[in-house]
């Protein structure tokens, strides 16, 4: 799987988690076109990158314990400093209003 394909997979999974798409690992893996073991590897990768992912057994969906999303791409140092200042002064909601070139948000 190429890096672009992996990036697309992680962004699709991120969107499914944020939308709280119903289904267990097997169902979501099928919807993503991957195996159940690959699905769990992706979840582990996302968790290792800091994503606070949980699973609600009653509602049968994955969710983020804290609000946020995955963003992939290069951020210039000046833009990173600007976003850090917004985070300090305005929290996560302030960051969502900044459009960083090269960073895809869904």
Distance CA 73, CA 21 (A): 25
Q: Which residues pair with 10 in a beta bridge?
A: none
Q: Are residues 23 and 58 in the same domain?
A: yes
Q: Which residues pair with 54 in a beta bridge?
A: 63
Overall residue count recorded for the chain in this entry = 106
Q: Are residues 32 and 84 in the same domain?
A: no
Nearest C-alpha neighbor of 62 from the set 8, 6, 13: 13
**Ramachandran assignment for 36, one of left (phi > 0), alpha (psi -120 to 50 degrees), beta (any other):** alpha
pTM (two decimals): 0.68
Per-residue pLDDT of 84-97, as tens digits, reads 555 555 544 444 55
Q: Are residues 39 and 89 in the same domain?
A: no
- CATH code of the domain in which 50 resides: 1.10.10.10
Q: Are residues 58 and 84 in the same domain?
A: no
Q: Are residues 36 and 8 in the same domain?
A: yes
| CA 57 from centroid of its chain's CA atoms | 20
Task: Give the number of C-alpha atoms closer than 13 A to the C-alpha of residue 68, restricted to the C-beta side.
Answer: 15
pLDDT confidence of 98, banded at 50, 70, 90? low
Per-residue pLDDT of 36-86, as tens digits, reads 999 999 999 999 988 999 999 999 999 999 988 887 766 566 655 555 555
Distance CA 49, CA 105 (A): 17
């Amino acid at each position: 799987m190429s890096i672009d394909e992996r990036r697309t997979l992680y962004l699709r999974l991120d969107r499914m988690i944020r939308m709280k798409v119903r289904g267990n690992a097997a169902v979501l893996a099928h919807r993503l076109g991957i195996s159940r073991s690959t699905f769990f590897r992706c979840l582990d990768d996302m968790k290792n990158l800091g994503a606070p992912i949980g699973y609600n057994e009653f509602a049968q969906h994955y969710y983020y314990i804290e609000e946020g999303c995955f963003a992939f791409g290069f951020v210039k140092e000046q833009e990173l400093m600007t976003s850090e200042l917004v985070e300090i002064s305005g929290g996560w909601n302030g960051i969502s209003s900044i459009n960083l070139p090269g960073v895809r948000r869904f």
